[in-house]
Every structure is written in C-alpha cells, then in structure tokens.
Amino acid sequence: MFRQSSWDEPVIFTLGRPGRRGHILPEVEETVKEVVGDLGGLIPENMRRKNPPKLPELSEPEVVRHFIRLSEMNYGVDSGLYPLGSCTMKYNPKINEELADSPKLGMLHPYQDERTVQGVLEILYRLERWLAEITGMAEVCLQPAAGAHGEFLGALLMRAYHNHNGELSQRRDMLIPDSAHGTNPASAAMAGFNVVVIPTGEDGCVDVEALKAAVSEKTAGLMLTNPNTLGIFEKNIDEIAKIVHEAGGLLYYDGANLNPILCKVRPGDMGFDIVHINIHKTFGTPHGGGGPGAGPVGVKEELAKFLPVPRIVFDGKRYRLDYERPHSIGKIRSFYGNVAVLLKAYIYILSLGFEGLREVAEVSVLNANYVLHKLRGVEGLTLPYGEKTPRKHECVFSAKPLKTKTGVSALNIAKRLLDYGVHAPTIYFPLIVEEALMIEPTETFEKEELDRFVEAVRKICSEAQTSPEKVLKAPYNTAVQRLNEVKASHPQNMTLSWRMHLKKRAATNP
C-alpha cells in the first residue's frame, strides 16, 4: 500500500540560525588581491546594496534535508505511472539532464557574438532540420515557449499570409472542433479571429458535413489535433484538408498528440500547412506545473518568409542569425527560444534515431490500447465515441454511469487513485465527454505498472458501488488530503513569495 511521507516542514526562511553557513570560503589570497584590487570597488557605488539581502542562513545538511523532505511529499514521473492524458508525461532520460547541465551551455550568454556560439547554433539549426523532417514541413522556428505560444504564432502566421494575399479583412473565421484543447480557441481569439466550433460525429472524428457547411470565403483556417483528444485518428484528414484548402483556408496542426505517429506519418503529408510541436511532451523533456517547455512551429515553404526573426542560417562554413526578413512577423520571444529544453530534445532524438522514435510511437499506442482493453466493461465506466475504434496514444472513458448510480465522479476517482500511488489521469477534458477520464500511459511504463493502474481503477469503481463515502473523501494516504480546489487556486489565496507571506501576515495581525 502506498503511504506518502508527511513532514511538518516549515518554509526555508524560518529554518536555520544567523551565522550558519553551508560553505566557508577561504580568504582572498594576497597575490589575487594585488591583481584584482578591492573586489567591492569593482561594483559602482550606486549599484551596491545598502544592507545585505535577508537570505536564510543554513548549513548544507539542513538544506539537503529540507529539499529531500519536500520531494518526499511530491509525486513525479520518476515515482510511477503519470497517465495525464494529452500531456504525454513520459520518462525523461537522465542523459538529457546531464548534458543540458553542461557549463558549456550554462555559461553561454545570448548576447554573445554569434562567432563564439557556433556550437549551440549548430545544434539548434540541426534540431530545426530534424523537426522539419519529422513533421513534413519546410522550415521550423524554435522560439515559442510552449504549445499554446506555438498556436498563437501559428495564428499570427495565418494572419500574415492572408494579409499578404489581401484577404485578411475577409478571412476572420477560425474553425475549431469541439474536442479541441482550450488553448486553440484562446490563441485564435488572441490573434483576432472569430472561433467557429465544428462538432464531433458519433465516430469520434470531425463531422465532415458540418465542416462543409461551415467553410466559406470567410475561413482563415482550421486548427486540428490528429490523433484528436479522444485518441482517435482523423481518418478523413485528406478530405478535411481538401475542403479547407479549396475554401482558401490554411490547416493548423496542434502537435500535442504527435507522440503516437512519430516517424509513422507526417502532418505535412496529411495536408497541414502549419504545425506546432510540444517538445516538452513528445521529446522527453521535463514539464508539468507550467514549464519549462518549448513549442517550435513548422511551416510549409509559402509561409516560411513570415516566420519570426532571427532565423539561423548556415552558409556552408558558419552559422549566422539573420534578421533581414522583410516579411517576418517580428519576434515572438526573447533570444532564440528555451535553449536548455531544446537541447534535451536534440539529445533525445539523437539517441533514439528514426527507428527508436518509431518504436516510441508504436509502444505508446500499444500501451494505451492495453489499458483500454483492460478497463473496458468495468461497471460504471463507458467508452464514448467510436466504441469499437482502436485508439492511438490515449483513451477517454466516461464515469457518468458511476456518478449517476453512486455519486462518485471522475474527480473522486482521480482523488482516490492517489491513495494507490499513481498519478490521476486528466479529468473533464475533452469537454465533449461527460465525467471524462483521459488516460495516456505513454511508452515508458511497463506492463506491471499499467496493471497496477488498471487494478487501482477497478478497485475504486467497485468501492464506489459498496462504500461510496470512502471514495468521496479520498485521498487518505497523501501528504495533503482533499483541498478546496476553488480556494486553493484563487489568486487571493496564493502566497507566491516569502515577502508576500510577511505582508499578508502583517495585514491580518497588525
């Protein structure tokens, strides 16, 4: 049985005592002093602190104990299964971390002369080429910091394209299926488009007749995830692409679900014109809790001139940053993207190669269908849309019958799963599935771990029938029990820094 550690651990600012140190630095040697002079004097007077910063003063063992205790109250992808649908929480190979930690990268500065950063420019240039090859695009820009940021860039590129053709004022509609991630309509709206929702058919795919009825001379484009968020491959993608292109629109590929089709089929070959790639999902870089990430965007040849500057170019001898792009939409992010994250993706692709990436896709699909098969028929769960259709990377069950009969909802199942030492799947997404449990096991968990998850879900569904109140109050075995989620995530209740905490405390106890 899983029991998470529960420490009564104070924040680091209240630990330690004045004068405690982790390291005692040696006095500066006379010979060094002679050469360097007074170190303090090197900092201009107006930039010197008047008082030392109020930092916690702790010994090294205290610091280590503190962070180990906090980590013991946490759960991560290295702890066990993390089947967070649509997030592709896969194992992050440690070699990526080790190489990305290299001072050769860490000591670089983005303002350095490009002649002194040829190595990292070469890596980024090669990564762009590989991602272009994997997605079937002509060029890739590495700048966006996340998938949603990539979507926003994609929508801006659509604007630039239609503007260039003199059609922007007419092409205001962005078509988006009702199964899409919320960031799709948000990005389209931020770029100034009207969102037109396309319904999903019984088979779990875009309703082609509804799409035909929605396209017009007002269509700017269609944003689509394939496989979609139900884990189903859009079998009519050729026809969908034809419909949108014939109406003068562009096809945008939301790459959050690229994992199960890696090196099997390419969005570019399906007819997509613009693609974003969630590097942090597909290419084994750590994410969760909002970052860090990267959402490179790939485009077909006719859109390449609109990509953000600078572009990394290679003249056969040297890599250069090219800002001379008159049609570019400008910059989308500072410098050249989230380089440490991109480097991890580079290592991931390099170490797996084409065959390895293909196997990633195959095993991720196998694992999702294994879980689906094992959970099919569990009392209280149904598999809406395309009941008989095999899934790709994820499967979405509905706990609606269980909730109706016992009061135990998808949220309650998710909470109780924590007691079994597995991370909960994504819940309540996609919005078209009531009481959704969206399960994406990924390729990096073996059969025994998948069986552990399946067994836990089965037990919970059976518990719901016999003693629902137990499930309704879960979790019991975690460091923190059930939170009021609305209060916990309300900005007014958040304390983002120690200084903020002190201010709040002073305000409540003047």
Ligand X SMILES: Cc1ncc(COP(=O)(O)O)c(C=O)c1O
| Contacts with ligand X, residue ranges (CB under 6 A) | 86-87, 146-148, 181, 183, 225, 229, 254, 256, 278, 293, 295
Smallest separation, CB 171 to ligand X (Å): 23
Residue nearest ligand X, CB atom distance: 147
Smallest separation, CB 436 to ligand X (Å): 13
In one letter, which amino acid is 117? Answer: V
Smallest separation, CB 145 to ligand X (Å): 8
Give the β-pairing of 319-322 and 426-427. unpaired
Token digits for 103? 């001072």
Nearer to ligand X, 430 or 475 (CB): 430
Nearer to ligand X, 278 or 478 (CB): 278
Nearer to ligand X, 16 or 144 (CB): 144
Q: Are 304 and 139 in contact (CB under 8 A)?
A: yes
Nearer to ligand X, 291 or 353 (CB): 291
426-427 β-sheet, strand order: 395-398, 436-439, 426-427
DSSP state letter for 260: G
Smallest separation, CB 149 to ligand X (Å): 7
Nearer to ligand X, 135 or 225 (CB): 225
Nearer to ligand X, 293 or 384 (CB): 293
Largest CA distance in the chain: 83
Nearer to ligand X, 139 or 254 (CB): 254
Q: Are 179 and 328 in contact (CB under 8 A)?
A: no
Closest listed residue to residue 199, CA positions, set 213, 188, 187, 184 = 213
Smallest separation, CB 87 to ligand X (Å): 5
3-state secondary structure of 367: helix
Nearer to ligand X, 183 or 409 (CB): 183
Closest listed residue to residue 343, CA positions, set 88, 130, 132 = 130
Q: Are 377 and 157 in contact (CB under 8 A)?
A: no
3-state secondary structure 37-56: CCCHHHCCHHHCCCCCCCCC
Nearer to ligand X, 276 or 416 (CB): 276
Smallest separation, CB 256 to ligand X (Å): 3
Distance between CA atoms of residues 326 and 224, nearest Å: 30
Mark 268-285 as b/e (b = at least 16 C-beta within 10 Å).
bebbbbbbbbbbbbbbbb
Cα dist from 403 to 193, 399, 430, 471, whole Å: 38, 6, 18, 12
Nearer to ligand X, 211 or 224 (CB): 224
Q: Is residue 292 reached through a cis peptide bond, with omega within 30 degrees of 0 on the bond before it?
A: yes
Distance between CA atoms of residues 76 and 471, nearest Å: 23
Smallest separation, CB 187 to ligand X (Å): 9
Smallest separation, CB 49 to ligand X (Å): 38
Smallest separation, CB 393 to ligand X (Å): 11
**Any idea how long the chain is?**
510
Smallest separation, CB 88 to ligand X (Å): 9
Q: Which residues are 255's β-sheet partners? A: 277
